[in-house]
Amino acid sequence: MRLNKFLAEHVGISRRAADDLIAAGKVKVDSEVAVLGARIKDDSMVEVKGKPVERIAKKTYIMLNKPVGYASSRRAQNGKTLYELLPKEYHALKTVGRLDKESSGLIILTDDGDFNYRMTHPSFKKMKVYEVELDRVLPPLSQQMIADFGIDLSDGKSQLGLTRLDDGRKKWRVEMSEGRNRQIRRTFGAMGFTVVKLHRTQFGKYQLGLLKDGEYDIIEP
């Protein structure tokens, strides 16, 4: 890793500021004064102005394509948990939000609490996109009620963005920036419809893309 990048990540300064410190002779690597463009090893000791730089543990971010039938918890009373799809080294990660057992698609796991907060707190309005299939045709009036006016639920009004995915009006693209428990299912349920398939394809800037069912990938925050 380049020394200026290391300083930017672990000291909290820009790379330009890091270069200024290096050029001024205020940075040492393994007791030697560093030079511009220097690279360091994983076990190098870095000092700035005579004080050792404490390494910040690297956080982990994973995107998983969760299949139907897997709970989003570490323990499932009956059935399987998504942690069974991951190596043991990732079992301490926490899910960023939830997908219920009957739903599938993109779910993120991390050990970064700040990232989790930024992704899930309503004030950040992270867009989530789903492919939803209903048990029967959704008439234009019901579509308008859900998309334009919103549906009153026990925990407040729910308004979803709807885009038709087929001519039969059973398959829909659903967009929302909230994350209340089973909100999509409850919204359609309040209108007398049953969601028979719910698959998340996007969460904020992250998209499922070509990630196959049950597979995971390392992502950057």
Q: How many helices (H) and strands (E) does the chain have?
A: 5, 17
Across 117-205, where does the E strand assignment appear?
128-134, 151-153, 156-158, 161-164, 171-176, 195-203
Question: β-strand 70-71 against 80-81: which pairing, if any?
Answer: parallel
Instruction: Mention every residue, 6+ apart, whose C-beta is less than 8 A from residue 152.
Output: 158, 190
* CA–CA distances in Å: residue 201 to residues 3, 34, 67: 38, 46, 12
- Using H for helix, E for strand and C for coil, what is the string for 54-94? CCCCCCCEEEEEECCCEECCCCCCCCEEHHHHCCHHHCCCE
152 in active site: no
Considering only CA atoms, which of 176, 82, 163 is closest in space to residue 129?
176
Residue from 30, 42, 43, 100 carrying the catalytic annotation: 100
| CB of 129 closer than 8 Å to CB of 200 | yes
Residue 216: φ, ψ to 5°: -135, 165
Residue 3: φ, ψ to 5°: -60, -40
Residue 29: φ, ψ to 5°: -125, 120
Catalytic residue ranges? 100
